[in-house]
Amino acid sequence: MSCKTTFVASTALALLLAIPALAEDRPAALIISQSGLGDQSYNDLAYAGFERATGETGIEGRTVESKEVVAQADEILRRASDAGFGLILDLEFAHGEPIAAVAKDYPDINYVILNQEVPGDNIASVVFREQEGSYLAGVLAAQMTTLAGVEGINEQPVLGVIGGTKSAGIDKFIAGFIEGAKSVDPAVDVKVAYSNSFADPAIGMQMANAMFDEGADIVYHIAGGTGIGVIEAAKERGHFAIGVDTDQDGLAPGHVLTSMIKRGDVAVERIVKDYAADAFPRGQTISLGLAEDGVGLSEMEHTRDIIPAEVLARVDAARAGILDGSIKVWDVLSQGTPDYMK
């Protein structure tokens, strides 16, 4: 009854004010990146957010997946633009320039690109402050690495981090991790290595084993599928890995200390809902960090019992510090590579 009343009232109001259409109802398209759905990471996460948002708002949603997504960038974007879609979200990193070019030709369609800033009136860019979550992982790891009495932990203050490739996008995780670790113990030694592959678990395993041999007991990976090998190595050797992107704690329960989760789903969900409410952030760059729940540590379901309360308290303190601005974490994208990584 009340629902009906509201409906009548709002309809009357809309008619009175002669507002054309309050909400956006054109369908939305999600373009999946090269690694495809089923990657248990970036694409799947974004897709989950897309499904949630389209389900709740009633906006019709379509996903486009293609092995040739890189080569067919223009064709896919233009086809979707011609076909009456009002919102096109693109997860493929190589679509930066194509989306800028296509968006110019379709001023009344809204475009979204992730992990990079693309200028354009009808484009929204979503970037994550991964350095903030990585900082917390560093604070946690640096405290744990010398903790006596925990199985799999040695007395040496040595940590490891394995990046998929030497690039600004990956170094921003690494710099944050190192800063967080050094904030606990300036003498901690963080070994950094790059696997040059995001899809080679065997390499990840070898590199993690090499780090364990050098005295590391916790290794953070930012290497996609290669990182699965890092987690496997931690399980075999009885040490610890730190997961990335999704909650990877369950991949080797008890041997993944925590995961630095990047909430691509939150980002996608929020944008689709904004779009449905006719509040699409046109031309804006949305930066998601700890404050926006865009990044953060996992629940540590399987490791919580071995992590002392005071260690967690210090992680929470660091989190609070970042939130209130008293801790500023280095951002490789805007500040360049810090000296300690050169």
Partner 1 sequence: MKYLQSALTILFPVAIVLVIGAAVLLAAGYNPLTVYSDLMTEAFGGQRRIAASLSAATPLIFTGLAAAVAFRVGVFTVGAEGSLYVGALMAAWLGFTLTGLNGWLLAPLCLLAGAAAGMVWMLPPGLMKARLGIDEIVTTLMLNFIAIGLTTWLVNGPLLAPGAANSSTPQVAEAARLTRLMPPSTLTTGFLIALALLVTYAVWQRRRIGGYETLVGGLAPRFARAAGIDMPGLMLRMLLVSGAIAGLGGAIQVLGPIGRFVAGFSTGYGFTGIAVAILARGNPLGILIGAVLFGGLSTAGATIQLFSDVPIEIVNILQGLIMIFAVADFGLRGWFARRTARQTAAEGGQP
The residue type of 295 is V
Contact status, residue 110 vs residue 87, Cβ threshold 8 Å: yes
Biggest CA pair distance of the chain: 74
Q: Which among 203, 183, 209 has a CA at the least distance from the CA of 191?
A: 209
Contact status, residue 126 vs residue 113, Cβ threshold 8 Å: yes
Options 53, 69, 141, 142; binder of partner 1; rule CB under 8 A: 69
Options 83, 202, 277, 320; binder of partner 1; rule CB under 8 A: 83
Contact status, residue 294 vs residue 45, Cβ threshold 8 Å: no
Options 45, 46, 53, 73; binder of partner 1; rule CB under 8 A: 73
Residue among 38 and 250 whose Cβ is closer to partner 1? 38
Residue among 36 and 250 whose Cβ is closer to partner 1? 36
CB of 226 to partner 1, least distance (A): 12
CA end-to-end distance (rounded Å), the chain: 67
The reply to whether 79 sits near partner 1 by the rule CB under 8 A is yes
The stretch among 15-23, 76-84, 246-254, 280-288 that binds partner 1 (CB under 8 A) is: 76-84
Options 72, 122, 154, 285; binder of partner 1; rule CB under 8 A: 72
Contact status, residue 260 vs residue 244, Cβ threshold 8 Å: yes
The reply to whether 273 sits near partner 1 by the rule CB under 8 A is no
For residue 78, the Cα-to-chain-centroid distance in whole angstroms is 27
The stretch among 136-144, 160-168, 209-217, 233-241 that binds partner 1 (CB under 8 A) is: 160-168
**Count of chain residues binding partner 1 (CB under 8 A):** 41
Find the length of the chain.
342
The reply to whether 112 sits near partner 1 by the rule CB under 8 A is no
The stretch among 98-106, 181-189, 232-240, 308-316 that binds partner 1 (CB under 8 A) is: 98-106
Residue among 101 and 311 whose Cβ is closer to partner 1? 101
Q: Which among 136, 159, 134, 31 has a CA at the least distance from the CA of 87?
A: 31
The reply to whether 202 sits near partner 1 by the rule CB under 8 A is no
Contacts of 309 (CB under 8 A, 6+ apart): none
Q: What SS3 state is found at 70?
A: coil
CB of 57 to partner 1, least distance (A): 19
Angle between helices 42-57 and 264-276 (to 10 degrees): 30
Positions touching partner 1 (CB under 8 A) are 29, 34, 62-76, 78-80, 82-83, 85, 93-94, 97, 101-102, 105, 115-116, 165-170, 194, 196-197, 333
